[in-house]
Chains A and B, each alone.
Chain A
Amino acid sequence: MRDMVVEATVRALTRAETTLPNWVLRRIEEAAARENRPLARHHLLFMLENVLIAGEDRLPLCQDTGLPIFHVQIGRDLKLNFSLAEAVAEGVKIATKKIPLRPNAVHPQTRKNSGDNTGPGMPDIIMDYVNGQVLRISVFPKGAGSENMSLVGMLNPADDPFDFIVKNVAERAANACPPLFLGIGIGGSFDMSARMAKHALLNMDGRPEDREEQDLLDRINALGIGPMGLGGDTTALGLRIEKASCHTASLPVAINFQCWANRKATEVIL
């Protein structure tokens, strides 16, 4: 079983880095068909061409191969007699050499690079428990361009969370490689809101946005920021909101930015 986890980690990373999920490609294609500004449309078509080249050459579509963020769904009936975190880390080290990946993980202060994309706290593994004998491993390589623009706001409950989101997306989108995918966490606590925002991105799978999500997405696209921040109708391609109860005196709101290269791949072990 441990070997299966290591191998599945390498396979998932290889697929995630060199292709995009079909629903992501579909959303870029649909946006290119709708886009009114020629420059913006050319950017969207060049992005699709880049994905084709990456597939042909079996190379990472972006040189920022990201930090290794994993989403693991694990069955409540499953017992593992080994460290899942160590097995996944071993897969990351192998994939870094094999694909290859750019070594991105550094000490936060000395900035010394581990050379293999692992280190204290890395890979980051987010666990969800499900019923039965299940083990599904998804990798979500997270580039710094979009992650650097992400933020948590501890709002006054009298504030409008959507105004806060639109204002910050307007200011930050150009640096995050738009068109964007946005994970939003509303409520909970300081750190819970951020985790919900990440979780919203992890669970984005191409299902249509609900009414509230679509309204917010439409407001963001009306900003006119466009692909790469150079103007256009396409500023964001997807948006998902997760919510949790919060303190009556609080309103935490988190925005996790994701660039157009919304990379994710899942391997089902059990």
Chain B
Amino acid sequence: MSEHHLHTPLTKEDVLKLKAGDVVFLSGTIYSARDKAHALIRREGCPISLEGAALYHCGPLIQKAQVLSAGPTTSGRMARYTEEMLALGVRAIIGKGGLPAEPFFNRAVYLAYPGGCGAAAARQLRVLGVHLEELGMAESLWVFEATEFGPMIVAVDSQKRDLYREVRGSEKNRKTD
């Protein structure tokens, strides 16, 4: 388990060296998107380039362009969009609860930010801009500048290791012990 301090945009080399269980702190631009933004991007395309991007599954609480609370939302609801977001060049998806590992193979990682820790996350984020604002505060595509955003755990790496699946697997082993 090693610790990495990375900066966006992320390259393929950046993410290939990350192993499941590693700790990551991320600085630079990150984008938030959740249910509605993903659906809209599927229908109408993405208003911005996501080449090398870190995409954060988050519906932040924001007032007057100040981030007040911005922890992760459950990624599972966006699982149906993973392939197309990674095809747009996204190198890291950030959220909680995990995503199936297959689409990440050899090109991207899934990073878990501690759920419920919105106040701590807010201190690490600054609003740079917003797209799709018509979707409302929680559902807009926010552009943040992150400073040492973390700690995040590499929960799904680019080599098909998936910590959530490993934990569920060990639970089944314990049952049959």
Q: What is the interface of chain A, defined by CB distance below 8 A to chain B?
A: 39, 42-43, 46-47, 49-51, 53-54, 57, 59-65, 100-104, 111, 113, 143-145, 148, 170-171, 174-175, 177, 222-231, 259-261
Contacts and interface: CB of A to CB of B under 8 A. Distances in A.
Interface in B8-34: 21
Interface residues of B, number: 43
Contacts of B136: 103, 113
Given A100-B61, A231-B163, A261 B76 contact: no
Given A230-B112, A231-B163, A224 B151 contact: no
- 4 closest pairs, A vs B, by CB? A54-B119, A177-B115, A63-B69, A63-B118
B74 A175 contact: yes
A148 B115 CA distance: 15
B138 interface: yes
Interface residues of B: mostly helix, strand, loop or mixed?
A: mixed
A63 B60 contact: yes
Interface string B52-79: 0000001111010000111101101000
Nearest to B119: A54
Contacts of B37: none
Contacts of A145: 73-74, 96-97, 115
Interface in B107-146: 112, 114-123, 136-138
A111 B96 CA distance: 23
B136 to A, nearest CB: 5
B171 A228 contact: no
B118 to A, nearest CB: 4
Interface of B: 1, 21, 36, 58-61, 63, 68-71, 73-74, 76, 96-98, 112, 114-123, 136-138, 151, 153, 155, 163-164, 166-168, 170-171, 174
A101 B69 CA distance: 10
A180 B21 CA distance: 22
A63 B76 CA distance: 18
Given A60-B119, A62-B69, A224 B167 contact: yes
A67 to B, nearest CB: 13
Contact of A63 (B58, B123, B166): B58
A111 B36 contact: yes
B69 A59 contact: yes
B117 to A, nearest CB: 4
Contacts of A47: 114, 116-117
B97 A261 contact: no
A224 B173 CA distance: 11
Given A63-B121, A228-B115, 7 more contacts: A42-B151, A57-B122, A59-B122, A62-B119, A143-B116, A226-B167, A230-B155
A224 B170 contact: yes
Contacts of B68: 59-60, 63, 100
Contacts of B73: 64, 145
B70 A63 contact: yes
Contact of B137 (A43, A102, A175): A102
A183 to B, nearest CB: 18
A44 B152 CA distance: 14
